[in-house]
Amino acid sequence: MKSMVILAGAVLCAGSSAAQFNYDEAKVPKYTLPPALKMADGKPVKTVKAWEMQRRPEVLELFKREVFGRSPGRPKRMSFHLVEESPKALGGLAHRRQVEVRFSGKADGPRMTMLIYRPAKARGAVPTFLTLNFRGNHTVHADPAIRLPHSWVRGRTKGETVNNRATEKGRGVAANRWAIETILKRGYALATIYYGDIDPDFHDDWKNGVHALYPKPKPDGWGSVATWAWGLSRALDYLETDRAIDHTRVAVMGHSRLGKTSLWAGAADQRFAIVISNNSGCGGAALSRRAFGETVKRINTSFPHWFNDNFLKYNDNENACPVDQHLLVALAAPRPVYIASAVEDRWADPRGEFLSGKHASPVYELYGLPGLPASKQPAVNTPSMGTIGYHVRTGKHDVTNYDWAQYLTFADKHFKTKNKK
């Protein structure tokens, strides 16, 4: 295996140079996007029925076959187990639940733990942000009652893990990304799961996590992104049983590779009411054909387990792919989608993320809905919100309080409107 180095937020093979990756708009290659409202045989899509019955299934199938892979359905023996609950968590602000989802129904089999905070004083079922986290549920808040993950964890600070097992030193280390108190005070619940519970984030030849229950994937089988998205659907299966959660108002949100995951989860499972992509970049919201910053070849080289094997065909060959990321956004229609970028996160191609929203807009307009209102990429820290929302903020590749403020406003806009109907 080639040694790896980290450079400017990108994972590069030793011997590579940053010059290999384009950050110049003038050098973006010419490209033609697959039209959202035209069938593969060239027939135009003029009605919602034609989109829903013909074009949408066609696009969804192409993404399954060529990019993310096919996932199984809900396991027949899957079970839910309440492992901890407190009605007076976080100083009385929250009601906390921790629920174990056992994929095979067995306590010693593949399983994930969901941490749920909902407003303690809420009356009735509340809308919810459902997310995956990178370092364990215990890292999202310093709350000492949060369980340490049972799964393999990649530590990022000294002492955070020992032999890739989480320790108390990791408690609350990522709290700045989660704005939990703000979310609760705005009347929303937050449900989060450590993504490594579902599938560890390294190429393990499909032997760990939930993959242990299934045969090794074929070339069009589920990669890790599709597997994490599958786990989000299993979390939603549980939320449908929780009377304190309004399962018809669940927004799936993810950052970086988990932003790619939230987009695919929202495309593959139409139960998600809002889809939020934070700095998702290549394979997420950014148009692959722009080859700006991270490219298909680079992502397939650095992270060969994320997508299916068929996606390898498009290394340095993006124009041959029958889909691009605007179609991934369009698969959420008519449900709202929010796309967020950061000025300094050029690796994720902020302009390409904006353009995906713009090129998905015709599908929303087919429903009589506004897509992304901005005619050009908005100024920094100036959100544009239609049924598709977008902002580019100051700063780097991260999730900030500013991002959460926009997501809460966007959710208010759409969920409160829904309640009035």
Q: What is the pLDDT of residue 19?
A: 55
Q: What is the pLDDT of residue 10?
A: 37
> Is 375 considered catalytic here?
no
Amino acid at 54: Q
Classify residue 135: in a domain, yes or no. yes
Domains in the chain: how many in total? 1
CATH number, domain of 175, equals 3.40.50.1820
CA end-to-end span of the chain: 57
Classify residue 29: in a domain, yes or no. no
One-character DSSP codes across 167-210: -GGGTTTTGGGT-HHHHHHTT-EEEEEEGGGTS-SS--TT-SGG
Residue given tokens 């989060």 in the structure block: 192
**Residue 367, SS3 per DSSP:** coil
Q: Which residues touch 264 (CB under 8 Å, ≥6 apart)?
A: 63, 68, 225, 226, 229, 328
Whose CA is closest to 113, among 127, 128, 101, 129? 101
Residue given tokens 């030793």 in the structure block: 14
Whose CA is closest to 115, among 83, 74, 161? 83
Classify residue 291: in a domain, yes or no. yes
Q: What is the pLDDT of residue 76?
A: 97
Composition of the chain by helix, strand, coil, percent to 5: 35, 20, 45
Q: What is the pLDDT of residue 300?
A: 98
Classify residue 42: in a domain, yes or no. no
Whose CA is closest to 250, among 231, 276, 224? 276
Q: In whole angstroms, what is the distance from residue 392 CA to residue 305 CA? A: 29
- Which ranges of the chain have pLDDT less than 70? 1-19, 417-421
**The pTM is what?**
0.95
Classify residue 59: in a domain, yes or no. no
Classify residue 43: in a domain, yes or no. no
User: Which domain covers residue 310, as residue numbers?
Assistant: 65-420
H helix or E strand, kind and range, residue 382: none
Strand-pairing partners, residue 341, are 392
Q: In whole angstroms, what is the distance from residue 243 CA to residue 241 CA? A: 6
Q: What is the pLDDT of residue 416?
A: 84
Classify residue 55: in a domain, yes or no. no
Q: Which of 224, 233, 256, 341 is catalytic?
A: 256
Q: What is the pLDDT of residue 419?
A: 53
**Residue 254, SS3 per DSSP:** strand
Classify residue 245: in a domain, yes or no. yes
Pairing state between β 111-119 and 126-133: unpaired
> Is 302 considered catalytic here?
no
H helix or E strand, kind and range, residue 119: strand 111-119
